[in-house]
Chains A and B, each alone.
Chain A
Amino acid sequence: MTASILKKASAEAKLLLIGIPLAIWTLLPIYHLVLFALSPKEQAVSGKLWPEHPTLHNFSMVFHEQHHYLGHFWLQMWNSVLIAVSVGAITLFIATSAAFAISRLRVRGGRTIMNLALFTYFIPAAFLAVPMYKTMGNYGLLNSQWALILAMVTIATPYSIWVLKQASDKLPLELDEAARIDGATPLQLFRLVYLPLMLPSLVAVGTYALLLAWNEYLYAFLLLSDDKSTTLGVALGSFLSADDSPWELLMTTGLIYALPPAAIYYAFKRYMVGGLTAGAVKS
């Protein structure tokens, strides 16, 4: 009895031993982000653990674009949103169609596509940055948000196809057969049976692609050099181009920029777990 309690306690202690440093490691930068964002300019680097007079003045400055670096804050925010949402949507559309065709309709060459998709990850994305820049230039897309959208979709799609294909394979084939006998066309099967059952995976993959685009720096920096077309992420980087960087504003903007991903994770938390197919077939 006591032995088992001891064993349990020791197992928990081990977990805490890993968990606590990990939590500190993760939360420390966020703490600094918040600290800077709430500090007046002159106290930002005072070394205090918490500002004496916390203020929301920095947020007001950011929201009212009251700094040279923040001249296009709202526009750039909008660009980030537009690009991230577009990348999420287009990636989902392509990857879902591909996964459905390969996994459920069993189209010829499906395996080859899957292998090619995997192969793309042998080449690091940074390696492709210059060729991508050249390609977009050839098509006259530089400084157009389409350039970044297309580039990010290209990067996000192979992995998304893999994830969705694996998830599709887990759906029982009898469901398709039952639907076929019930009279469903492939499109009806896709819309009425496949998509609802894939929802958890779709949300997970959509979130992945969206956040990948949201967090992208290198490609955004290369493909969108104009202040008015670039994303907030790139704009944040430009804060550091001068010696007297306004750290408190940089941190405030960074904090704002980090909120949407956090919100998305929180909102779609339950989909990341899944479990919708329970009861479909006896396992």
Chain B
Amino acid sequence: MASVSFRNVEKSFGSTRIIHGIGFDIADGEFTVLVGPSGCGKSTLLRMLAGLEEISGGTIAIDDHVVNDIESKDRDIAMVFQSYALYPHMTVADNMGFSLRLRKADPALTKERVAHAARILNLGPYLERFPRELSGGQRQRVAMGRAIVRDPKVFLFDEPLSNLDAKLRVAMRAEIKALHQRLKTTTVYVTHDQVEAMTMADRIVVMQEGRIEQIGTPLELYDHPANLFVAQFIGSPAMNVVNGTLRRDGGQAWMEADGGIRWPLAPARAGQDGQPVAYGVRPGDLGVGRGADASSVPAEVIVVEPTGAETELLVRVGAAQIVVVVHGRTQAEPGQTIHLSVDTGAVHLFDPTSGIALTA
């Protein structure tokens, strides 16, 4: 168990800087997910924590000990790789016990720890098999077992579920989360999948181009995105964003988009009349109204995608394409004009140039 802290961490490959002074803390026992599009530096940051990449600037500390110049093996961490990285010539038991073997641990202890990890992960029947004789999910569990056996201060996961099929991914996601709840080991988990981040994390660090965009609990990020990038990255389907101009008149507020379309706003929203804004609304905060009224937005249905419990509508509002998720079924058909109702309390406004959220 340990805390981890990043202080002004930088990374350059040659003259290209890919991590620009990142700093944040991870509390003891916390499950932190680093998430961002590919190339955002999240894996590099994890590998720097693991000791697989040199740290170009700043410090990384585990339990208040700076580990910059400490070798991987002495950092007391365990890592699960995307490709599992199991030793193909060793059985499952040997794979899991390899780190203890290197430390010349008592074979009886090794056996006991391996058996313990195998029990946790239901790998008992496979201990004498080779990795090639296992399914993808089983291999992933062996990779986790290898980490558990070491009883490290910090678990590192580098996109561990990317190689699994969709169904297995969901199952393993729950398994990793349950494992963390059981072991309570500090965990740093890298993924590009925001659903994984939302479902697993205690805290999410959203990264883009080597910088942190926002840190917070999943729901903080969802409800209060600090900027347009986080707003559109977190949540599925992504938030709709329309650019326009803020208007106020007679105690009413709305945003006027191209073509004179009025997107309703709560009158209490901050902002000046005539101020350019980006109007963000999540697909679930839009509804199909009964008919035209003062606050509804007319839209033309393009595609209807029923998924059973919900129906996703792709509609056109002026020049913008908007996604609407309605619970249950809908009568809407392509080509038809509908009237969208907006939950004005859930609308996010952003500065269109800087992307920063305009808070109420």
Which A residues are closer than 8 A to B by beta carbons?
Answer: 172, 174-175, 177-184, 188, 192-193, 196-197, 276-282
Is B78 part of the binding interface, using a Cβ–Cβ cutoff of 8 Å? yes
Chain B residues with CB under 8 Å of A281's CB are: 83-85
Chain B residues with CB under 8 Å of A276's CB are: 88-89
> A188-B102, A279-B134 are contacts. A174–B83 as well, Cβ < 8 Å?
yes
Chain A residues with CB under 8 Å of B150's CB are: 182
Interface size on B, residues (CB 8 A): 32
Assess the B102–A181 pair: CB atoms within 8 A.
no
Assess the A174–B81 pair: CB atoms within 8 A.
yes
Is B292 part of the binding interface, using a Cβ–Cβ cutoff of 8 Å? no
Which B residues are closer than 8 A to A by beta carbons?
Answer: 50-52, 71-73, 77-79, 81-89, 98-99, 102-103, 130-134, 136, 139, 146, 150, 163
Assess the A177–B73 pair: CB atoms within 8 A.
no
> A276-B88, A278-B88 are contacts. A178–B132 as well, Cβ < 8 Å?
no
Taking a contact as CB atoms closer than 8 A, the residue among A181, A193, A278, A282 that contacts B87 in the complex is A193
Assess the A279–B86 pair: CB atoms within 8 A.
yes
Lowest 5 CB-CB distances: which A-B pairs, in order?
A279-B132, A174-B85, A281-B83, A183-B73, A182-B99
Assess the A279–B103 pair: CB atoms within 8 A.
no
Assess the B103–A183 pair: CB atoms within 8 A.
yes
Taking a contact as CB atoms closer than 8 A, the residue among B51, B77, B102, B163 that contacts A282 in the complex is B163
Chain B residues with CB under 8 Å of A279's CB are: 86, 88, 130-134, 139
Q: How far is the CA of A193 from the CA of B136 in the complex (A)?
A: 21
Question: Closest CB of chain A to B71's CB: distance in Å?
Answer: 8
The closest CB in chain A to the CB of B89 belongs to: A196
Assess the A181–B79 pair: CB atoms within 8 A.
yes
Question: Closest CB of chain A to B218's CB: distance in Å?
Answer: 28
Assess the A183–B86 pair: CB atoms within 8 A.
no
Q: How far is the CA of A158 from the CA of B136 in the complex (A)?
A: 39
The closest CB in chain B to the CB of A175 belongs to: B85
Chain B residues with CB under 8 Å of A282's CB are: 83-84, 136, 139, 163
Can you list 12 A-B pairs, Cβ within 8 angstroms, ordered by A? A172-B85, A175-B87, A177-B72, A180-B52, A180-B73, A181-B73, A181-B78, A181-B99, A197-B88, A279-B130, A280-B85, A282-B83
